[in-house]
Structure 1
Amino acid sequence: MPIKSEAATKRIYLDYNATTPLDPTVAEIIVTNLTEAWGNPSSLYPEGVKAKNVIATAREQTAKGIGAVASDILFTSGGTEANNWVISSTIEHFKQRSQAESKLKPHIISTTIEHDAISLPLSHFREKGEIDVTFVPVNKERGFVTPEDVVNAIRPNTCLVTVIMANNETGAIMPIAEISKLVKERNSSVLIHTDAAQAIGKIPVDVGLLGVDYLTIVGHKIYGPRIGALYIKGLLQNGGAPLYKIFHGGGQERNLRPGTENTAPIAGLGKAVEIASDSVKEFAAAMKMTRDHLEKRLKDDFQDAVVFNCASSCRLPNTCSVAFIGKNREGYNLVKKICGFSCSTGSACHANECKPSQILLEFNIPFEIAANTLRLSTGRETTVADIDKVVDELKHLLLP
């Protein structure tokens, strides 16, 4: 029977890498602008001008939060759109740039540990015969994708390198700045993108220091609304990163993303990025404290029956990827028994067959460990008391 305690009646949330609740300040800004900035931002009368100014403020906040300028920020429906937009734009740019010069397909370099919003569109274009793709694996000894392996994959027809900034399942942080530096030294025309969905608000993010041409921002990972933004270096400037329309309509967002702007969520996103960047050190310290307490408690109580994945790698301060060793401890089955808290699993089981996360396997985690993995990700408000209740329930479920 599940443990009967306060943890069973008041659920503790430990899946902040999946999504986050709205910050109260962000929620207030969204609600306020739903009623006060409802005008069409393309209109010249006061109601429209007010909405336009709200969007301009949010663009400034978003840009400042990642060390960019406002003119290089476009708002999107979310991270999936932003990632697909980068991929389709760089493919189109290669085709236009190399017309009659080369019969080679555009070549894109990515990794085996990307989010589906990168890996699936790349696989789609490859299956259609439109591009060649190299998926660089994680270096087994170092626990992350190495810059040298990325650079060694460059071909004469390489147009884009896209590498996730921090993996959502293990928290492993990729060396984006080093990758950018070496790639540009090898071939300065290769464009570089990183999906920073998991990084913002947990570690410092500065596009200048990272050396990227594109960067994806996702609101619901940083206590904001479920929209996103895309940074494009030098947008519409000579020598800037290219961006092409993916659909057509009005002239909104620099005539690149048509459609009347979603003013209130955009205002919320700007504030969420501002809060996340201004307080990143404070948030990171708080999340790391509770994450470290979680891992200490688990190690003390489970001893050799617990394994931490990628713990030796540079990783996000809030992420614990942990496996409980033994039979009938598959993550998928364990999650179904948990009553007092929410988390993610590293496996999916159907018809008595357990299939671990492919991402975990790509991190060279053994099959049986990956199958028994849970991902526990702490948040800004997670407390030591929360962690103690979580560990107590796990002990009740797993220890005799």
Structure 2
Amino acid sequence: MAVYLDYNATTPLAPQVIDAITGSMRDHWANPSSNYTVGKESKAAIEKARGQVAKLIGGASENIVFTSGGTESNNIVFNCILREGEVPHVITSTIEHDSVIKPLNHLKDNGSIELTCVKPVNGYISVSDVMNSVKSNTRLISIMLANNETGAIQPVKEIGEVIRLYNINNNKIGQERILIHTDAAQALGKISVDVQELKVDYLTIVGHKFYGPRIGGLYIKGLTSNETPYKHFFAGGGQERGYRPGTENTPMIVGLGTAAQLVSDRLIHHMSHLRSICEYLRKRLKEKFDDGVHFNSSDSDCLPNTCNFSLTASHLLQGPVILRHLKSSQISLGAACHSHDTFKASFVLLESGVSEDIALNALRVSVGRETTRADIDIFINDLSQAVNDIIIK
């Protein structure tokens, strides 16, 4: 079986999560909105999971709404700032995930919002560049917590601190506050995430990035007190406390809660392991390819599990060519959602200052909880053989 090294794309379900989901399918089959015993038990299971997810991000359970995943959560946030009689201004970055960039561009194109996309400096968004983009009608700043391709951890906390002071000063003169959203999909399960420290109003949660099911959630600061605006997309019943119509997917929610609890219980251990394996990967790449390897992601201020690199010895070593020659390992070029597109250099790398010739050769390796040094050795040997086959042919 090939070694899997694409954990930023998705993770397998943890065994405990599988057990929780299957147990819930057996025990929590009743409609959570029903007022009899088995319905109440299903409702209680959902509320337990809500508390587990809230604990993962340092928030309160009443501020969590379960969603189908990250794309829905992100779209909900952007829907929340739309209003009659105003065209709000949104600030984001040029290296966001498609589930942020595409809906924001759609809203811009139909005249619903003004949009400023801040370009990173060496892969990182500058706080000063964000603040220099603020206008009188700025209503939202949406910056990802960690980039899915490079692993670069963005200064969301620092932006939150500056905006908090900005809002305090503006409140004195009656101006509306600026809201902050972060898509934390890639960060959860790999680094500590605390909404209080980040000072965000919205935070996107994606289960399949931390060994949970393919559903997600959205944190909304002060949801029940209407501190932060919230509008759902759908018309329907009063499920999810009236915040998201549709009968809840109880087993998957239970699975998400279990995955969140596993992270909360073992995060320090997981971080240490991921960092150790990723450092070993970098070491082996340097040993095998010497000056022929170029790292497109930093080993500091970066997710502990992510390594984006290019092999620069030949223009023949473009990412897709290498992938076709790998026999014993499974890695990616970058975001899985681009896998069906015509191949071109990653826009994330280009925006981060990587030259096109190097970006065309880029590969992303993202390790997981179960990845071992032996797995890395298999990958290095596989990669070396692939390079030899390509250059010789």
TM-score range, shorter chain: over 0.9
Determine helix, strand or coil for the equivalent of 1:323: strand
Letter in 2 for 1:333: V
* 8 A Cα contact 1:346 1:371, kept in partner: no
Letter in 1 for 2:100: I
User: What CA distance in whole angstroms lies between the structure 2 residues aligned with 1:168 and 1:68?
Assistant: 23
Distance 1:286 1:313, change over 3 A: closer
User: What CA distance in whole angstroms lies between the structure 2 residues aligned with 1:300 and 1:83?
Assistant: 41
* 8 A Cα contact 2:315 2:357, kept in partner: no
- Give the deviation of 1:46 after TM superposition: 1.1
**What whole-Å deviation, never above 9, does each CA across 1:84-141 have from its counterpart, x for those lacking one?**
000111223xx4xxx5xxxx5110000001000000000000010111000001024x
User: What CA distance in whole angstroms lies between the structure 1 residues aligned with 2:378 and 2:48?
Assistant: 42
User: What CA distance in whole angstroms lies between the structure 1 residues aligned with 2:273 and 2:189?
Assistant: 12
Select which of 316, 326, 330 maps to 1:342: 330
Distance 1:30 1:212, change over 3 A: same
- Give the deviation of 1:50 after TM superposition: 0.8
Distance 1:346 1:43, change over 3 A: closer
Q: Is 1:319 equivalent to 2:301 in the alignment? A: no
Select which of 222, 226, 231 maps to 2:210: 222
Identity of aligned residues (%): 47
Q: Is 1:58 equivalent to 2:40 in the alignment? A: no
User: What CA distance in whole angstroms lies between the structure 1 residues aligned with 2:35 and 2:55?
Assistant: 27
Letter in 2 for 1:264: P
Aligned pair count reads 378
* 8 A Cα contact 2:67 2:218, kept in partner: yes
Residue 7 of structure 1: aligned partner: none
Gaps of 5+ in 1: 1-9
User: What CA distance in whole angstroms lies between the structure 2 residues aligned with 1:254 and 1:90?
Assistant: 21
User: What CA distance in whole angstroms lies between the structure 2 residues aligned with 1:368 and 1:349?
Assistant: 19
TM-score computed with the length of structure 2 as normaliser? 0.93
* 8 A Cα contact 1:330 1:354, kept in partner: no
Q: Is 1:234 equivalent to 2:216 in the alignment? A: no
Distance 1:293 1:42, change over 3 A: same
Residue 243 of structure 1: aligned partner: 230
Distance 1:297 1:88, change over 3 A: same
* 8 A Cα contact 2:275 2:305, kept in partner: yes
* 8 A Cα contact 1:65 1:278, kept in partner: no
* 8 A Cα contact 1:78 1:219, kept in partner: yes
TM-score computed with the length of structure 1 as normaliser? 0.92
- Give the deviation of 1:313 after TM superposition: 4.8
Could you say what the CA RMSD is over the residues aligned between the two structures, in angstroms?
A: 1.7
* 8 A Cα contact 2:88 2:139, kept in partner: yes
Gaps of 5+ in 2: 169-176
Residue 358 of structure 1: aligned partner: 347
Letter in 2 for 1:34: M
User: What CA distance in whole angstroms lies between the structure 1 residues aligned with 2:367 and 2:110?
Assistant: 40
Letter in 1 for 2:60: V
Distance 1:146 1:312, change over 3 A: farther
User: What CA distance in whole angstroms lies between the structure 1 residues aligned with 2:349 and 2:103?
Assistant: 21
**What whole-Å deviation, never above 9, does each CA across 1:233-270 have from its counterpart, x for those lacking one?**
000305x1110121110001121210000000000001
Residue 21 of structure 1: aligned partner: 12
Distance 1:35 1:349, change over 3 A: closer
Select which of 195, 217, 230 maps to 1:207: 195
Determine helix, strand or coil for the equivalent of 2:82: helix
Letter in 2 for 1:158: T
User: What CA distance in whole angstroms lies between the structure 1 residues aligned with 2:267 and 2:181?
Assistant: 22
Select which of 253, 256, 262 maps to 1:266: 253
Determine helix, strand or coil for the equivalent of 1:187: helix
Residue 114 of structure 1: aligned partner: 96
- Give the deviation of 1:354 after TM superposition: 5.2
Select which of 54, 58, 68 maps to 2:59: 68
User: What CA distance in whole angstroms lies between the structure 1 residues aligned with 2:155 and 2:183?
Assistant: 13
Distance 1:27 1:350, change over 3 A: closer
